[in-house]
Amino acid sequence: MHIVITGGAGFLGRQLAKTLLDKTSLTTSDAIEVQKLTLFDVVPPQNMPPDPRVEIVTGDIRDPQVLATLITSDVDLIFHLAAVVSGEAEANFELGLQVNLAATQNLLEQCRQLNTRPRLVFTSSVAVFGGDMPAVLQDDTTPTPQSSYGTQKAVGELLVNDYSRRGFIDGRAVRLPTIVVRPGRPNKATSTFASSIIREPLQGQPAVCPVSPEMALWIMSPRQAVKSLIHAAALPAETWGSSRVASLPGLTVSVREMVDQLKTIAGQVVVERIVWQPDPFIERIVGSWPIRFATPKAEALGFEADQSIDEIIRAFIEEELGGRFVA
Protein backbone atom coordinates (compact mmCIF):
# COMPACT_ATOMS: atom_id res chain seq x y z
CA MET A 1 0.00 0.00 0.00
CA HIS A 2 1.23 3.52 -0.81
CA ILE A 3 0.13 5.83 2.01
CA VAL A 4 0.40 9.62 2.04
CA ILE A 5 0.19 11.66 5.25
CA THR A 6 -0.39 15.36 4.71
CA GLY A 7 0.82 17.27 7.76
CA GLY A 8 3.34 14.43 8.11
CA ALA A 9 5.78 16.61 10.10
CA GLY A 10 3.10 17.58 12.62
CA PHE A 11 2.48 16.06 16.02
CA LEU A 12 -0.12 13.46 15.03
CA GLY A 13 1.41 12.95 11.55
CA ARG A 14 4.75 11.84 13.00
CA GLN A 15 3.18 9.62 15.65
CA LEU A 16 0.93 8.05 13.02
CA ALA A 17 3.90 7.46 10.70
CA LYS A 18 5.95 5.79 13.43
CA THR A 19 3.04 3.53 14.37
CA LEU A 20 2.28 2.58 10.76
CA LEU A 21 5.94 1.66 10.20
CA ASP A 22 6.16 -0.40 13.40
CA LYS A 23 4.83 -3.84 12.55
CA THR A 24 4.94 -4.87 16.19
CA SER A 25 2.74 -1.98 17.31
CA LEU A 26 -0.50 -3.00 18.94
CA THR A 27 -2.24 -0.11 17.23
CA THR A 28 -1.56 -1.21 13.65
CA SER A 29 -4.07 -3.15 11.63
CA ASP A 30 -3.53 -6.12 9.34
CA ALA A 31 -5.61 -4.29 6.73
CA ILE A 32 -2.95 -1.56 6.45
CA GLU A 33 0.32 -2.89 5.03
CA VAL A 34 2.87 -0.14 4.32
CA GLN A 35 4.92 -0.55 1.17
CA LYS A 36 5.56 3.16 0.75
CA LEU A 37 4.84 6.04 3.13
CA THR A 38 5.03 9.61 1.87
CA LEU A 39 5.26 12.27 4.56
CA PHE A 40 4.19 15.61 3.14
CA ASP A 41 4.48 18.94 4.96
CA VAL A 42 5.87 22.45 4.60
CA VAL A 43 8.83 21.35 6.69
CA PRO A 44 10.59 17.95 6.91
CA PRO A 45 9.63 15.85 9.96
CA GLN A 46 12.07 15.87 12.90
CA ASN A 47 13.36 12.70 14.57
CA MET A 48 11.98 10.19 12.05
CA PRO A 49 14.05 7.00 12.20
CA PRO A 50 15.44 6.15 8.72
CA ASP A 51 13.26 3.66 6.84
CA PRO A 52 13.52 2.68 3.16
CA ARG A 53 9.72 2.82 2.86
CA VAL A 54 9.58 6.51 3.77
CA GLU A 55 9.68 9.37 1.29
CA ILE A 56 9.74 12.92 2.59
CA VAL A 57 8.15 15.57 0.39
CA THR A 58 8.10 19.24 1.36
CA GLY A 59 5.72 21.74 -0.19
CA ASP A 60 2.71 23.94 0.39
CA ILE A 61 -0.63 22.14 0.24
CA ARG A 62 -2.24 25.36 -1.04
CA ASP A 63 -0.43 24.85 -4.35
CA PRO A 64 -2.55 22.63 -6.69
CA GLN A 65 0.60 21.74 -8.67
CA VAL A 66 2.15 20.33 -5.52
CA LEU A 67 -0.98 18.26 -4.93
CA ALA A 68 -0.94 16.98 -8.52
CA THR A 69 2.59 15.66 -8.00
CA LEU A 70 1.85 14.29 -4.54
CA ILE A 71 -1.45 12.49 -5.13
CA THR A 72 -0.85 10.13 -8.04
CA SER A 73 -2.71 7.03 -9.20
CA ASP A 74 -0.49 4.68 -7.16
CA VAL A 75 -1.66 6.26 -3.87
CA ASP A 76 -4.02 3.90 -2.00
CA LEU A 77 -4.60 5.75 1.27
CA ILE A 78 -4.36 9.40 2.32
CA PHE A 79 -4.40 10.64 5.91
CA HIS A 80 -5.25 14.31 5.45
CA LEU A 81 -3.90 15.98 8.60
CA ALA A 82 -2.35 19.19 7.26
CA ALA A 83 -4.15 22.11 8.84
CA VAL A 84 -3.83 25.47 10.47
CA VAL A 85 -4.84 24.89 14.08
CA SER A 86 -7.73 26.59 15.88
CA GLY A 87 -6.07 29.70 17.35
CA GLU A 88 -4.21 30.47 14.13
CA ALA A 89 -7.29 29.96 11.93
CA GLU A 90 -9.19 32.40 14.16
CA ALA A 91 -6.37 34.97 14.13
CA ASN A 92 -5.74 34.68 10.37
CA PHE A 93 -9.02 34.05 8.55
CA GLU A 94 -7.55 33.89 5.04
CA LEU A 95 -4.82 31.43 5.99
CA GLY A 96 -7.34 29.12 7.67
CA LEU A 97 -9.66 29.32 4.68
CA GLN A 98 -6.88 28.51 2.22
CA VAL A 99 -5.21 25.67 4.15
CA ASN A 100 -8.17 24.10 5.97
CA LEU A 101 -10.80 24.51 3.30
CA ALA A 102 -9.50 25.39 -0.21
CA ALA A 103 -6.59 22.94 0.01
CA THR A 104 -8.88 20.18 1.30
CA GLN A 105 -11.18 20.76 -1.66
CA ASN A 106 -8.21 20.79 -4.06
CA LEU A 107 -6.96 17.54 -2.55
CA LEU A 108 -10.37 15.93 -3.06
CA GLU A 109 -10.46 17.30 -6.63
CA GLN A 110 -7.05 15.79 -7.32
CA CYS A 111 -8.37 12.42 -6.06
CA ARG A 112 -11.43 12.76 -8.32
CA GLN A 113 -9.26 13.40 -11.39
CA LEU A 114 -7.39 10.13 -10.79
CA ASN A 115 -10.42 7.84 -11.12
CA THR A 116 -8.81 5.41 -8.66
CA ARG A 117 -11.07 6.10 -5.64
CA PRO A 118 -8.32 6.31 -3.02
CA ARG A 119 -9.23 5.88 0.64
CA LEU A 120 -9.00 9.13 2.61
CA VAL A 121 -9.11 9.80 6.36
CA PHE A 122 -9.92 13.40 7.28
CA THR A 123 -9.15 14.69 10.78
CA SER A 124 -12.13 16.75 11.82
CA SER A 125 -12.67 18.12 15.31
CA VAL A 126 -15.24 18.62 18.06
CA ALA A 127 -14.86 22.32 17.16
CA VAL A 128 -17.55 21.68 14.48
CA PHE A 129 -19.95 22.08 17.43
CA GLY A 130 -20.55 25.15 19.56
CA GLY A 131 -23.08 27.69 20.81
CA ASP A 132 -26.46 26.38 21.95
CA MET A 133 -26.00 22.62 22.20
CA PRO A 134 -27.72 19.77 24.03
CA ALA A 135 -25.99 18.75 27.29
CA VAL A 136 -24.89 15.53 25.61
CA LEU A 137 -24.20 15.68 21.88
CA GLN A 138 -25.63 12.87 19.81
CA ASP A 139 -24.41 11.38 16.53
CA ASP A 140 -27.14 13.31 14.70
CA THR A 141 -26.57 16.70 16.41
CA THR A 142 -26.20 19.37 13.72
CA PRO A 143 -22.76 21.03 13.63
CA THR A 144 -22.99 24.67 14.73
CA PRO A 145 -19.36 25.83 14.79
CA GLN A 146 -18.47 29.01 16.64
CA SER A 147 -15.00 29.44 15.18
CA SER A 148 -13.56 29.70 11.66
CA TYR A 149 -11.53 26.53 12.29
CA GLY A 150 -14.70 24.61 13.27
CA THR A 151 -16.53 25.93 10.22
CA GLN A 152 -13.69 24.89 7.90
CA LYS A 153 -13.66 21.40 9.42
CA ALA A 154 -17.46 21.10 9.13
CA VAL A 155 -17.34 21.97 5.41
CA GLY A 156 -14.48 19.49 4.98
CA GLU A 157 -16.66 16.75 6.50
CA LEU A 158 -19.48 17.52 4.05
CA LEU A 159 -17.10 17.42 1.11
CA VAL A 160 -15.58 14.11 2.22
CA ASN A 161 -19.09 12.73 2.49
CA ASP A 162 -20.17 13.94 -0.93
CA TYR A 163 -16.98 12.89 -2.74
CA SER A 164 -17.48 9.44 -1.17
CA ARG A 165 -21.16 9.30 -2.14
CA ARG A 166 -20.18 10.13 -5.73
CA GLY A 167 -17.54 7.39 -5.69
CA PHE A 168 -14.58 9.78 -6.20
CA ILE A 169 -12.94 8.70 -2.92
CA ASP A 170 -13.58 6.22 -0.12
CA GLY A 171 -13.60 8.80 2.67
CA ARG A 172 -13.85 8.76 6.44
CA ALA A 173 -13.99 11.87 8.63
CA VAL A 174 -13.32 11.46 12.33
CA ARG A 175 -14.01 14.19 14.88
CA LEU A 176 -11.05 14.05 17.21
CA PRO A 177 -11.40 15.21 20.81
CA THR A 178 -8.66 17.53 22.14
CA ILE A 179 -5.48 15.48 22.27
CA VAL A 180 -3.83 15.43 25.71
CA VAL A 181 -0.90 15.12 26.56
CA ARG A 182 0.74 16.48 23.41
CA PRO A 183 4.56 16.17 23.67
CA GLY A 184 6.97 18.95 22.65
CA ARG A 185 6.25 22.65 22.88
CA PRO A 186 2.99 24.64 23.06
CA ASN A 187 1.43 25.34 19.62
CA LYS A 188 -1.15 27.83 18.34
CA ALA A 189 -4.15 25.65 19.15
CA THR A 190 -6.38 27.41 21.67
CA SER A 191 -6.45 24.13 23.64
CA THR A 192 -2.66 23.90 23.86
CA PHE A 193 -2.79 24.73 27.61
CA ALA A 194 -4.50 21.39 28.32
CA SER A 195 -1.22 19.65 27.50
CA SER A 196 1.07 22.42 28.84
CA ILE A 197 -0.35 22.27 32.37
CA ILE A 198 0.70 18.61 32.60
CA ARG A 199 3.78 18.51 30.35
CA GLU A 200 5.70 21.58 31.55
CA PRO A 201 5.31 21.14 35.35
CA LEU A 202 6.46 17.52 35.05
CA GLN A 203 9.66 18.85 33.46
CA GLY A 204 10.27 21.47 36.13
CA GLN A 205 8.93 24.36 34.03
CA PRO A 206 6.08 26.81 34.64
CA ALA A 207 2.90 26.60 32.56
CA VAL A 208 0.18 29.19 32.14
CA CYS A 209 -3.41 28.01 32.52
CA PRO A 210 -5.60 30.58 30.72
CA VAL A 211 -8.95 29.08 31.79
CA SER A 212 -10.69 28.46 35.10
CA PRO A 213 -10.34 25.08 36.87
CA GLU A 214 -14.04 24.44 36.12
CA MET A 215 -13.50 24.49 32.35
CA ALA A 216 -13.92 20.95 31.01
CA LEU A 217 -12.73 19.37 27.77
CA TRP A 218 -13.52 16.27 25.74
CA ILE A 219 -10.11 14.60 25.47
CA MET A 220 -8.21 11.66 24.01
CA SER A 221 -4.59 10.53 24.36
CA PRO A 222 -2.17 10.68 21.40
CA ARG A 223 -1.91 6.89 21.43
CA GLN A 224 -5.69 6.45 21.23
CA ALA A 225 -5.90 9.11 18.50
CA VAL A 226 -3.35 7.33 16.31
CA LYS A 227 -5.08 4.01 16.94
CA SER A 228 -8.39 5.61 15.93
CA LEU A 229 -6.97 7.04 12.68
CA ILE A 230 -5.62 3.63 11.68
CA HIS A 231 -8.89 1.98 12.65
CA ALA A 232 -10.83 4.54 10.59
CA ALA A 233 -8.68 3.70 7.58
CA ALA A 234 -9.01 -0.06 8.04
CA LEU A 235 -12.81 -0.24 8.33
CA PRO A 236 -14.62 -1.57 5.25
CA ALA A 237 -16.47 1.17 3.32
CA GLU A 238 -19.92 -0.38 3.82
CA THR A 239 -19.67 -0.22 7.62
CA TRP A 240 -19.92 3.60 7.55
CA GLY A 241 -23.50 3.75 6.28
CA SER A 242 -24.88 6.92 4.69
CA SER A 243 -22.53 9.25 6.58
CA ARG A 244 -18.76 9.02 6.46
CA VAL A 245 -18.47 11.08 9.66
CA ALA A 246 -18.07 9.86 13.25
CA SER A 247 -17.52 11.67 16.55
CA LEU A 248 -14.92 9.63 18.39
CA PRO A 249 -15.36 8.45 21.97
CA GLY A 250 -13.46 10.50 24.55
CA LEU A 251 -13.29 11.46 28.20
CA THR A 252 -14.89 14.51 29.82
CA VAL A 253 -12.29 15.96 32.17
CA SER A 254 -12.21 19.35 33.93
CA VAL A 255 -8.99 21.28 34.31
CA ARG A 256 -9.37 20.80 38.07
CA GLU A 257 -9.52 17.00 37.62
CA MET A 258 -6.40 17.11 35.45
CA VAL A 259 -4.50 19.14 38.02
CA ASP A 260 -5.75 17.00 40.95
CA GLN A 261 -4.63 13.85 39.16
CA LEU A 262 -1.27 15.42 38.35
CA LYS A 263 -0.89 16.21 42.06
CA THR A 264 -1.75 12.62 43.02
CA ILE A 265 0.84 11.27 40.60
CA ALA A 266 3.63 13.88 40.89
CA GLY A 267 3.00 15.89 44.06
CA GLN A 268 2.12 19.40 45.23
CA VAL A 269 5.41 21.01 44.11
CA VAL A 270 4.72 20.01 40.51
CA VAL A 271 1.20 21.50 40.38
CA GLU A 272 2.46 24.73 41.98
CA ARG A 273 4.31 25.36 38.69
CA ILE A 274 0.93 26.12 37.08
CA VAL A 275 0.31 29.86 36.79
CA TRP A 276 -3.42 30.73 36.67
CA GLN A 277 -3.84 33.61 34.21
CA PRO A 278 -7.32 33.84 32.62
CA ASP A 279 -7.41 34.78 28.92
CA PRO A 280 -10.93 35.77 27.72
CA PHE A 281 -10.12 34.92 24.05
CA ILE A 282 -9.12 31.35 24.91
CA GLU A 283 -11.95 30.96 27.44
CA ARG A 284 -14.45 32.04 24.78
CA ILE A 285 -13.20 29.67 22.05
CA VAL A 286 -12.54 26.61 24.23
CA GLY A 287 -15.68 27.32 26.27
CA SER A 288 -17.72 27.08 23.03
CA TRP A 289 -16.64 23.46 22.46
CA PRO A 290 -18.83 20.59 23.62
CA ILE A 291 -17.67 18.42 26.51
CA ARG A 292 -20.06 15.46 26.49
CA PHE A 293 -20.91 13.14 23.64
CA ALA A 294 -22.88 9.96 23.13
CA THR A 295 -20.91 8.11 20.44
CA PRO A 296 -22.90 4.94 19.62
CA LYS A 297 -21.90 4.99 15.94
CA ALA A 298 -18.16 5.13 16.65
CA GLU A 299 -18.46 2.51 19.39
CA ALA A 300 -20.38 0.17 17.07
CA LEU A 301 -17.59 0.68 14.53
CA GLY A 302 -15.06 -0.42 17.17
CA PHE A 303 -13.52 2.94 18.16
CA GLU A 304 -12.52 3.19 21.84
CA ALA A 305 -11.95 5.89 24.47
CA ASP A 306 -9.11 6.14 26.97
CA GLN A 307 -9.81 4.70 30.43
CA SER A 308 -8.96 7.72 32.62
CA ILE A 309 -6.91 10.91 32.94
CA ASP A 310 -4.74 8.98 35.40
CA GLU A 311 -3.83 6.49 32.66
CA ILE A 312 -3.18 9.32 30.16
CA ILE A 313 -0.78 11.19 32.48
CA ARG A 314 1.05 8.01 33.48
CA ALA A 315 1.42 6.98 29.80
CA PHE A 316 2.90 10.41 29.00
CA ILE A 317 5.46 10.04 31.81
CA GLU A 318 6.39 6.54 30.63
CA GLU A 319 6.44 7.12 26.88
CA GLU A 320 7.68 10.71 26.58
CA LEU A 321 9.69 11.35 29.76
CA GLY A 322 11.29 7.92 30.11
CA GLY A 323 9.39 7.26 33.34
CA ARG A 324 10.92 10.26 35.19
CA PHE A 325 9.69 13.74 36.15
CA VAL A 326 11.08 16.72 38.09
CA ALA A 327 9.53 16.47 41.55
Ligand X SMILES: NC(=O)c1ccc[n+]([C@@H]2O[C@H](COP(=O)([O-])OP(=O)(O)OC[C@H]3O[C@@H](n4cnc5c(N)ncnc54)[C@H](O)[C@@H]3O)[C@@H](O)[C@H]2O)c1
User: Which residue in 20, 67, 85, 133 binds ligand X (CB under 6 A)?
Assistant: 85
Q: Return the residue of 20, 81, 101, 217 that touches ligand X, per CB under 6 A.
A: 81
Among 4, 13, 157, 163, which residue interacts with ligand X (rule: CB under 6 A)?
13
Asked if 320 interacts with ligand X (CB under 6 A), we say no
Rule CB under 6 A: is residue 25 a binding residue for ligand X?
Answer: no
Query: What element of type H or E holds 105?
Result: helix 103-114
163 is catalytic: no
Q: Give CA separation, 24 vs 20, 28, 77, 227, 257, in Å.
A: 10, 8, 21, 13, 34
Provide the angle, in degrees to the nearest 10, between the axes of the packed helices 11-21 and 222-234: 60
Nearer to ligand X, 10 or 118 (CB): 10
Q: 16 and 82 in contact (C-beta within 8 Å)?
A: no
Which of 27, 104, 123, 228 touches ligand X (CB under 6 A)?
Answer: 123
Q: Which among 149, 218, 289, 316 is annotated as catalytic?
A: 149
The count of other CB atoms within 10 Å of the CB of residue 327 is 10
Q: How many CB atoms lie within 10 A of CB 164?
A: 22
By CB under 6 A, is residue 82 in contact with ligand X?
A: yes
Q: Tell me if 207 contacts ligand X by CB under 6 A.
A: no
**How many H-runs (helices) and E-runs (strands) does the chain carry?**
13, 12
**Binding span for ligand X by CB under 6 A among 79-87, 161-169, 197-205, 288-296:** 79-87
Q: Cα separation of 17 and 1, whole Å?
A: 14
12 contacts ligand X (rule: CB under 6 A): yes
- Residues near ligand X (CB under 6 A) are 7, 9-13, 41-43, 60-62, 81-85, 99, 123, 125, 176, 178-179, 187
